[in-house]
Structure formats: C-alpha cells, structure tokens
Amino acid sequence: MDIKINISRIKKLLKEIPEEILSRVLLILIFIVLVEVLAGAIIYYKYSYLPQKEEIKLTEKPVVLKEGLLSRILEKSAEKEIKFKEESSKTYFNPFKAQEAIPIEQQGNPAQ
C-alpha cells in the first residue's frame, strides 16, 4: 500500500485561502490572546478576589454536641482498637514459606 502525497493539490488548497486572512494573522492572534487574558481576569476576580473581600458570616447558633452519641462513637472506636490489637498479636500460617519435610518413619505407615 503506497501512500502518495499530491503536493500540487496541497499548493492549490493553500492558494485558495484568502489573502486577507493571511495578512491579518497577527491581528487575529493578538485578539485571541486578549480574549483569553480577559476571561482569565474575570475568573480570577470571581473565584479568588471576591471571596477574600467578603466577610465571614458567623452562625447565630453555636454548635451543640450530643453527648450520648459522642460517647457511643468513642466506645465503638475503643472496641475496634482492642480488636485490632488482638488481631495484630496473632500469628498466621504463611503459605509462601517452605515447610520442613517430615520423614516417612514419623508419619506412620497405614499399611502395617
């Protein structure tokens, strides 16, 4: 499969582009950059400058903790910690460690 690039066709397409657009490429690029800078300034003003300028609104009601609920949560947390410590002290069988072979004489011979 040979892919041929037809250079004359590409030249023809390039000549069809209006010369006015090519002559004003610099102006178009400057316009696009200005629009991007303006959009960035608006976003900065809205999300960074204004929030810093506003005062923090305090709530009228102070935060109230439910002592019963808090104590239950702390009890459950303590129970979980105790279970975790119990589990961490256990030793488990390691299936990846090579086990020592038991001699046949010690295994017992069912044929006898």
Residue position matching structure tokens 């200005």: 34
Residue position matching structure tokens 């066709």: 9
pLDDT digits (tens, 9 = 90+) for 78-98: 999 999 888 887 777 777 877
Separation between Cα atoms, residue 48 and residue 43, nearest integer Å: 8
Residue 43, in any domain of the structure: yes
Q: Alpha helices of the chain — where are they, by DSSP H?
A: 7-16, 19-23, 25-44, 50-53, 67-89, 104-107
Looking at the chain, how many residues does it have?
A: 112
Q: pTM of the full predicted structure?
A: 0.35
**Domain membership of residue 39 as a residue range:** 23-53
Instruction: State which residues of the chain have pLDDT below 70.
Output: 1-3, 20, 59, 100-112
Residue 64, in any domain of the structure: no
Residue 49, in any domain of the structure: yes
Q: In total, how many domains does the chain have?
A: 1
Residue 109 Cα distances to 101, 102, 106, angstroms: 16, 13, 9
Residue 74, in any domain of the structure: no
